[in-house]
A and B are shown apart, each in its own frame.
Chain A
Amino acid sequence: MAAARPLGLFRNINAKIAAIPMVLTALVVFTGGTIWTVVYSFTNSKLLPREKFVGFQQYERLWGTERWNVAIENLLIYGACMVVFSLVIGFVLAALLDQKIRFENTFRTILLYPFALSFIVTGLVWQWLLNPDFGIQSVIRALGWESFDFDPLYNADIVIYGVLIAGLWQGTGLVMCLMLAGLRGIDQEIWKAARVDGIPMWKTYIFIVIPMIRPVFITTLVIIASGIVRLYDLIVAQTGGGPGIASDVPAKYVYDYMFQGQNLGQGFAASTMMLLAVLVVIIPWAYLEFGGKKRV
């Protein structure tokens, strides 16, 4: 920027005014709310938030609970698979839709429609589809393949993958849309240049296009990741955390104890641990993202 430096505060004054809602949200709601949560995680609040401090008691109980450990393990498996599959599938679908095909709008809407439907019932439908007695397994067996086995929701070892199938069904449409929007922002000259240089299509995508839409990938990654951390509705609707506690996730643990179990303190302690984990990832990322390079 060429402008001379006036008083620091008034530099970029319009941008600062425009950012007031963001600053307020960041400070009052997110920072304030987080501090509030952390403070009350050291109390034994039950139904109502109350200042009866009990030290680390809630945390001791939390880490002594088998269910919490199962929940974390599930989150890691689900998270890793979800990130990889939804990015790959979403990008491939976007690339396919970006080929000036006919019926693009129809295909896009079909891929996106699961995103519009409430989880309460889609979870139920997936529960039916994956039910061995009247879902996909029974249909394929009826067709003659008697030994076909497909009952992910009723096998504790693979239930989280059964949830993943529904999660991908619900989420990849949005990823595809984000990617498509990214691709639409790409300069068309790139394709011409790549063609002139004789670079194959797939190489152009991987080595030229993807780096160009890196910011869109980061956006998508954050959206997917926040969905993973907050994963709750789908589990409740599809498996209820079962069989047993085999498909439990941290957010479900938090809500169950806050509202079902009337133990706010325990729920706050669990959510504090979740937020701590998020911080451990976000702070280094922020350093990498903002450290050094200046744009304007």
Chain B
Amino acid sequence: MSDPGILNVAGVGADALDGPRGPKPRRRFSRRNIFIYGTLIVVALYYLLPLWVMVVTSLKGMPEIRLGNIFAPPVEITFQPWVKAWAEACTGLNCDGLSRGFWNSVRITVPSVILSILIASVNGYALANWRFKGADVFFTILIFGAFIPYQVMLYPIVIILREIGLYGSLTGLVLVHSVFGMPILTLLFRNYFTSLPEELFKAARVDGAGFWQIYFQIMLPMSLPIFVVAMILQVTGIWNDFLFGVVYTKPDLYPMTVQLNNIVNSVQGVKEYNVNMAATLLTGLVPLVIYFISGKLFVRGIAAGAVKG
């Protein structure tokens, strides 16, 4: 597909206005490409620098780390820190490293992500397209909630969970994640739906489509990128959550981050930086995989075609 618009991006100046409009033969080293890829590569290097340090550190032994050159590649590569982080690091009696909490994390993350996105997308849709009296007030309170520091809400939530009998259970934790994800997600969906062409919604209404029908058949398919963003937000937030997991559940439900924290965050005692780095990279792997896979859904919405049709 020829896309004339993009041909002009080369100069961030007025001189970009040159040439004919037809599909230009693409040269590999056009100014435009050099600019785009050059910038992206420089930025990518800046982003990767800390990752480099983490990876090389995780492959060194402690004596080598004590020498202090953080950028140098390991003289002697060892995978022991990774093995230790995943399967051997002790938490009291249990010397099975991060692997211990892995499935708990999955059990917590999957329902929490699904429930929170479901609730918030419907909320956002109702707020954007079916505004009812008072909706704005609740929405404003919700946005306010996005700014409350989590820790301040810790004890009130304990009291609420105790009163509804869910304290210490998986359900309770899923609920908490959904509640704290709601402000940002609702805002995300509401504003996205608001920016979609209104004609679509009106046309569907004229055709007699109802609340749910429009949601599933029109809004949902048009909003894949925003669902991806919501998923990125929630998977990251919930997978990496430590505080809620440890405060609202019991040891048999503790997520992986509890072990991560135990490995990296000891106050006294010897710190093993290589194991710390390996543990962090291992924990970050799941969100990373999700980012990479879900990236395929970053497609252009079908809005354009739909309006005409």
Q: Do chains A and B touch in the complex (CB under 8 A)?
A: yes
Residues of chain A touching chain B, judged by Cβ–Cβ distance below 8 Å, are 1-2, 8, 11-12, 14-16, 18-19, 21-23, 25-34, 36-37, 49, 93, 95-97, 99-101, 104-105, 107-118, 120-122, 124-126, 128-129, 133-135, 139, 169, 173-174, 177-178, 180-182, 184-185, 187-189, 191-192, 194-195, 198, 200-202, 204, 212-216, 218-219, 222-223, 225-226, 229-230, 232, 251, 254-255, 258-259, 267-268, 271, 274-275, 278-279, 282-283, 286, 289-290, 294-296
A126:B50 contact, CB within 8 angstroms: yes
- Given contacts A93-B43, A215-B194, list 9 more A-B pairs with CB under 8 A: A14-B130, A22-B186, A37-B156, A115-B287, A118-B264, A204-B5, A212-B195, A258-B152, A295-B131
Chain A to chain B contacts (Cβ below 8 Å), 18 pairs = A2-B206, A15-B126, A19-B126, A33-B148, A96-B36, A99-B9, A109-B291, A129-B70, A134-B68, A174-B233, A177-B229, A181-B192, A185-B222, A212-B195, A230-B150, A251-B149, A259-B151, A286-B136
Residues of chain B touching chain A, judged by Cβ–Cβ distance below 8 Å, are 3-6, 8-9, 12-14, 16-17, 21, 32, 36-37, 39-40, 43-44, 46-51, 53-54, 68-71, 119, 122-123, 125-133, 135-136, 138-153, 155-157, 160, 178-179, 182-184, 186-188, 190-192, 194-198, 205-206, 210-212, 222-223, 225-226, 228-229, 232-233, 236, 240, 257, 260-261, 264-265, 273, 276-277, 279-281, 283-284, 287-288, 291-292, 295-296, 298-301, 303-304, 307
Main secondary structure of the interface of B (DSSP, over half): helix
B284:A113 contact, CB within 8 angstroms: yes
A-B contact count (CB 8 A): 329
B276:A124 contact, CB within 8 angstroms: yes
Smallest Cβ distance from B23 to chain A, in angstroms?
13
B146:A226 contact, CB within 8 angstroms: yes
Inter-chain contacts of A259 with B (CB < 8 A): 151
B36:A30 contact, CB within 8 angstroms: no
